[in-house]
Amino acid sequence: MSTQTALLTFSIGPVHTFIAQARRVADLWAGSRMLSHLVGEATHVVLNTEGCRMVLPYFETVEATPKTLTNRFVCRVPLHRVEQTAQEMAKAVEDRWEEMVAWTANKMAGHPYNCKTAKAIWTSDPQSKGRRQSDGVIEIAWSWVPEDLGESGDSYARAADQAARQYQASRLFRPFTQRHETGDKCAICGERTALPDGKRNHVRSTWQAIQEAAETVEKTDAAYFRLGQTRLCLVCTTKRFYPKLAEVDREKNRHRYRFVHGSQLSRFAAFEDFAASEERPYFALVAMDGDKLSEILRWDKTRIRGDIQAFHRQLSSRLTQFANSLGGQRSADLRLDDLSFKEPFDKEIPPQLIYAGGEDVLFVCHARDALPLTRAIRQHFLEIVSGLRPYLTEREDLKQITISAAILYAHVKQSAGLLFRDVEDLLNRKAKREAGRDALALRLAKRSGAPLEVAFKWDEAAGDGTKSWLASFLDLVEQLEKRNLSSSSSYDLRTAEETLRQTFNQGATTDKTGQRWFDWLAAQLRRDGLSPGEAESTATLLRPFFQEGKTPALRIARFLGREVA
Confidence (pLDDT) at 24: 86
Look at residue 47 and tell me whether its pLDDT is greater than 60: yes
**Is the predicted pLDDT of residue 263 greater than 50, yes or no?**
no
Which domains are delineated in the chain?
A: 5-259 (3.30.70.2220), 266-459 (3.30.70.270), 463-565 (no CATH)
Q: Is residue 240 scored above 60 in pLDDT?
A: yes
Distance CA 188, CA 190 (A): 6
What local confidence, expressed as pLDDT, does residue 281 receive?
Answer: 94
Question: What b/e sequence results for 279-315 when a residue is b if at least 16 CB atoms lie within 10 Å of its CB, and e otherwise?
Answer: eebbbbbbbbbbbebeebbbbeeebbeebbbebbbbb
Q: Above 50 in pLDDT, residue 151? A: no
Question: What confidence score (pLDDT) does residue 259 get?
Answer: 37
Q: Model-level pTM?
A: 0.91
- The string of DSSP letters for 94-148 reads HHHHHHHHHHHHHHHHSTTT-----TTT----TT--SPPTTTTSSEEEEEEEEE-
> What is the tens place of the pLDDT at every residue in 524-534?
888 888 888 88
Band (pLDDT 50/70/90 cuts) for residue 110 is very high
Distances (CA, A) of 508 to 32, 343, 489, 503, 512: 54, 52, 30, 11, 10
Q: Under 8 Å CB-to-CB from 308, ≥6 apart: which residues?
A: 154, 156, 157, 160, 299, 300, 301
pLDDT in tens, 241-254: 888 887 766 655 55
Instruction: Please write the tens of the pLDDT for every residue from 493-543.
Output: 767 776 676 666 654 455 566 788 888 888 888 888 888 888 888 888 888
Strand, coil or helix: 435: coil
Q: What's the rounded mean pLDDT across residues 346-360?
A: 86
3-state secondary structure 164-183: HHHHHHHCCCCCCCCCCCCC
Distance CA 452, CA 459 (A): 22
The yes-or-no verdict on residue 323 having pLDDT over 90 is yes
> What is the average pLDDT score of the chain?
86
pLDDT score for 68: 87
- ∠ CA 89-138-236, rounded to 5°: 135
Average pLDDT of span 479-505: 72
pLDDT at residue 262 in the model:
36
pLDDT beyond 50 at 256:
no
Q: What number is the average pLDDT over the span 300-317?
A: 92
Residues 476 and 558: their CA atoms lie apart, in Å, by 8
Instruction: Tell whether omega for the bond before 243 is within 30 degrees of 0, i.e. cis.
Output: no
CB contact set of 229 (below 8 Å; sequence gap of 6+): 23, 24, 187, 188
If you average pLDDT over residues 147-172, what whole number do you get? Answer: 75
Question: pLDDT band at 156, cuts 50/70/90?
Answer: confident
Q: What confidence tens digit (pLDDT) does each residue in 386-443 have?
A: 999 999 999 999 999 999 999 999 999 998 999 999 999 999 999 999 999 999 999 9
